Structure 1
Amino acid sequence: MNWVLLTEVFVTLFVIMDPVGTIPIFLSLTGGRSVQVARRAAWQAVAVSFGVICTFAFFGQQILEYLHISLPALQCAGGLLLLLVALELLTGKEEGPTATADTNVALVPLGTPLLAGPGAIVATMVFSKKVDGFTEFAAVALGVILVHVSLWLAMRFSLPILRLIRESGVLLVTRIAGLLLSAIAVQMVADAVRAFIAGEG
């Protein structure tokens, strides 16, 4: 096992995907739902993220080249999508389209682009280029798995917090999450614009 590569993969993806920072957003998006639905959303979001990450690890470069999509364009699209969700949370309209289908919360925005966003996708694609044998493959794969286990644990154990803070607390967390999410979205778009100006797009 290549422990140095494993540590590098885990730490990099942990910082980018931020399991702790996901908790307030998860609580705001699952507020008002039953515990069973929230738990289902947690593992579905992690499953979606894991599937997206694995797909881009194996076929990411080919997918982007086939569709003629640059990485900055992907990052900008993810940022704009997150910004729409953030505006819904900030303006109190999260009870609308987000709440109509339980699976929607797990797929978008939790699974992607919040967890499996452009940053995590690009990082995974870079790490996958370092694989030239089973040892490196095992290190990258285990790093990705451990990060997703951390994400699931963070969301799974946020549910007792949800029961404790009740409706008024969820409203406060929702507004804070919307603010944080909007900042993340704007930063993603700004990084994409900077990359376009630098000629990387």
Structure 2
Amino acid sequence: METVVDAQLLGSVFVTLFVIMDPPGTVPIFLALTASMTGRQRVRAARQAVAVAFAVIIAFAVFGRALLDYLHISLPALQCAGGLLLLLVALELLTGKDEAPASAEGVNVALVPLGTPLLAGPGAIVATMVFVQGANKSAHHIASYVAIGLGVLLVHVCLWAAMRFAGRIHRILGDGGTTLVTRIAGLLLSAIAVQLIADAVRAFVEQG
């Protein structure tokens, strides 16, 4: 009997997206973008940002295969491109980014730039599409799809919690603690990126 969820894949999806989307790292950015908001407005902004990011990720997870077919892009090519992209993101996390994104007057920062591209950015989108492509080739489709869906959902719950309690988290971690968490996330993400590139190169060699 087929299992309901692939626990190993669930863990892989959760860890990968958690490192890429970096819930603790969103705390200082969220506080900067919502500095002029009241407490109630911040709660609403956190909810809207997570909803937008979740919708974008799911849209690419569902329609990503059709997009790849239309553009004649293979899975190894996507994996290699995704690995290189994630490596760039990892380097930014490791070296640090001190400037918070500026918000335009009259623009809902919960949608842009917070919801996308900060949360649902290229790295998270590519990683999700790679997981879905792998699930398409799996012998246990349903268990794999459920694992991916749960992994994406759990990461977005963590994102919501991080932004909902951003003020408290920042007070607990402090500037130094937040920076430390970001650096560790960058190190883990760089390892994931290198693994993606290595898997892509191996797939290219086997195809050749």
Structure 1: any 5+ residue segments left out of the alignment? none
How far the C-alpha of 1:83 sits from its partner, in A, is: 3.6
Q: Map 1:1-201; keep pairs closer than 5 Å.
A: 2-3=2-3, 6-18=6-18, 22-32=22-32, 33=34, 34-56=42-64, 58-59=65-66, 61-62=68-69, 65-66=72-73, 70=77, 71-81=79-89, 83-84=91-92, 86=93, 90-94=96-100, 96-97=101-102, 99-100=103-104, 102=109, 103-118=112-127, 120-130=128-138, 136-166=140-170, 169=173, 171-191=175-195, 194=198, 200=204
Distance 2:148 2:16 in 1: 12
Q: Which amino acid aligns with 1:18?
A: F
How far the C-alpha of 1:110 sits from its partner, in A, is: 1.7
Distance 1:44 1:104 in 2: 11
Distance 1:76 1:196 in 2: 11
Cα distance change, pair 66–154 in 1 and its aligned pair in 2 (3 A):
closer
How far the C-alpha of 1:42 sits from its partner, in A, is: 1.8
Cα distance change, pair 39–60 in 1 and its aligned pair in 2 (3 A):
same
CA contact (8 A) 1:27 1:159 kept: yes
CA contact (8 A) 1:31 1:170 kept: no
CA contact (8 A) 1:42 1:155 kept: yes
Distance 2:8 2:195 in 1: 23
Q: Which amino acid aligns with 2:45?
A: V
Please state whether the residue corresponding to 1:139 is helix, strand or coil. Answer: helix
* RMSD of Structure 2 on Structure 1 (CA): 3.8
CA contact (8 A) 1:76 1:188 kept: no
Q: Which amino acid aligns with 1:164?
A: R
Please state whether the residue corresponding to 2:204 is helix, strand or coil. Answer: coil
- Among all aligned residue pairs of Structure 1 and Structure 2, give the percentage whose two residues are the same amino acid: 13
TM-score by length of 1: 0.69
Deviation sequence 1:29-48 (CA, Å, 0-9, x none)? 31232232222212222222
Q: Which amino acid aligns with 2:23?
A: I
How many residues are matched?
191
Structure 2: any 5+ residue segments left out of the alignment? 35-41
Cα distance change, pair 60–4 in 1 and its aligned pair in 2 (3 A):
farther
CA contact (8 A) 1:28 1:173 kept: no
TM-score by length of 2: 0.67
